[in-house]
Chain A
């Protein structure tokens, strides 16, 4: 998708470039006025950038080198927070939990989204209805109400065990209270919300000219070959867009784990997502400096991962412009 092509190759809009000499002269006259107007239009954004984003980022970098509990002024302790992170076994565990969630949940969700999008051909009967049904959970899925529902569904007497009982499988497993299953119920919730990447895939599929497929069919290409040689390469920018966005989002997941575990990350820390642990450190134990350091580790992880993604994309993402 163009968001990504622009990130990897940032440039101003081509339409901005003056075409004739008169246009150039006119533009030069207007430039002064344009400049002032632009900065006026951008004033709220600039203010937000400084006050809400860059200022706090710098402050958080500073705080990450301090011990700070909100009550006393920050005390400079150098890299101590970062050193402590090396031996913080709960932090390591929360990274592991988050990684499992990301590495399993994101590809599963995207794979499902792509598979369903491809089955939903253009012009097929009931397309709009199917699309709505599959899209709905992703609109509701981030809410506390759904997380509460999930907690019930996978509880000891929950819906899942009731259904299992109804088909003759007696189960007393409390899925959300069993450390070996709890994380998987949240991964399942993530997969359940495959609707929003699916809609983006559908939009992308619609832009692939039908004639490519028709031509390939004339040449005797099988469905699978056409999928692999036409659909997948032409869709690759959109797969990439979804992948980058979903990875960034998944690393920051919070609500579902918080609600399903009642805020503890339990049972036995099995759903202690990284952001949940960060919240506990910062707003539970008021170790603001440590939380800031944790946030910077997250920036580093997301940054490196996104960079690797962009580097790898050269090998599999195909832009036809």
Chain B
């Protein structure tokens, strides 16, 4: 630590911010080329399986097992048409199920986490420090420890095989991580804005709705995107609460391919895998910008 302060103290920095690299231009260029080559190699390894999955979904199953390459000789779409209807319900049914759960979860997290975050960031109340600590600690509680009693509770309420156990907890702000993310974000919003609104006679409700919510765009977007991706991919909770095949969400439905065909119809399985990955990919594509920004604000001091 002390060594760091010696090297990095501001006094030293004022010596002059001229970057003096011993190496010449040529060697710097060489280093840059090597760097790009390494990065491209890593990139190829990273996305090769995904591309291969995509290409394989257009190949007959027996060809899948003979072709490591990405070249598509004879394109077929029967994997998609066959896979779509291979399970008890057409695959669209499971997509609708998943969509309901995702929309509910996103709405719940946006509603409940933003309210809790506003209180933690802007209100003064008794035991605030204690409650804030409790909120942070709940990030660390493993899901397994509440699993069994939660199941018993929802089972007794007759909610097993409904989407309530998957959605309701989000409306009760159980994803503390997002509360924390939003608290951090609100702290970065100038207090003068809500103080001005308060002088104009606004109460907390109106400050929250009229001042905070419109300014919280990036934090709300990050929460929505992450909730979308995690809920769409979530396998564990639906596996426990949804035992009726009609209620299956996409991940549980997809897993059925493994049971039903014992791996013999890889083509259909790959085609439906691609179908379930498309929404994630689209959200990733459009949301990436927000995610990177949202993560930076969480990390920001």
- A-side interface residues toward B, CB under 8 Å? 1-3, 6-7, 10-13, 15-16, 27, 30-31, 33-35, 37-39, 41-42, 44-45, 47-49, 51-53, 55-57, 59-60, 63, 70, 116, 119-120, 124-126, 130-137, 139-140, 142-146, 148-149, 151-153, 155, 157, 159, 162-163, 165-166, 192, 199-200, 202-204, 206-207, 209-219, 221, 229-230, 233-234, 238, 241, 248, 251-252, 254-255, 258-259, 262, 275, 278-279, 282-283, 288, 291-292, 294-296, 298-299, 302-303, 306, 318, 321
Say how far B13's CB is from chain A's closest CB, in angstroms.
4
Per CB-CB distance, the 10 closest pairs between chain A and chain B, nearest first, are A48-B172, A38-B123, A145-B273, A59-B149, A38-B125, A162-B68, A56-B149, A41-B119, A56-B146, A37-B204
- Interchain CB contact (< 8 A) of A298 among B38, B67, B145, B266: B145
Q: Which residue of A lies closest to B172 (CB)?
A: A48
- Interchain CB contact (< 8 A) of A248 among B119, B140, B145, B208: B140
- Interchain CB contact (< 8 A) of A233 among B1, B18, B148: B1
B interface majority secondary structure: helix
Q: In whole angstroms, what is the CA distance A294 to B123 when docked? A: 39
A interface majority secondary structure: helix
Say how far A117's CB is from chain B's closest CB, in angstroms.
12
The answer to whether A199 and B292 have CB atoms under 8 Å apart is yes
23 contacts between A and B (CB under 8 A): A37-B119, A45-B179, A48-B174, A59-B152, A126-B36, A140-B233, A140-B281, A144-B273, A149-B53, A152-B266, A155-B263, A199-B291, A212-B8, A216-B8, A218-B15, A218-B18, A219-B12, A233-B4, A252-B142, A255-B251, A275-B144, A288-B152, A298-B145
Query: A39, A234, A295 — which one has the most chain B CB atoms within 10 A of its CB?
Result: A295
Q: Which residue of A lies closest to B150 (CB)?
A: A56
Q: In whole angstroms, what is the CA distance A52 to B126 when docked? A: 23
Q: Which residue of A lies closest to B132 (CB)?
A: A10
Given contacts A48-B174, A229-B4, 9 further A-B contacts (CB under 8 A): A2-B300, A33-B204, A49-B134, A52-B169, A55-B149, A140-B50, A153-B49, A213-B19, A292-B149
Q: A49-B134, A295-B145 are in contact. Are A139 and B280 (CB under 8 A)?
A: yes
Q: In whole angstroms, what is the CA distance A15 to B195 when docked? A: 13
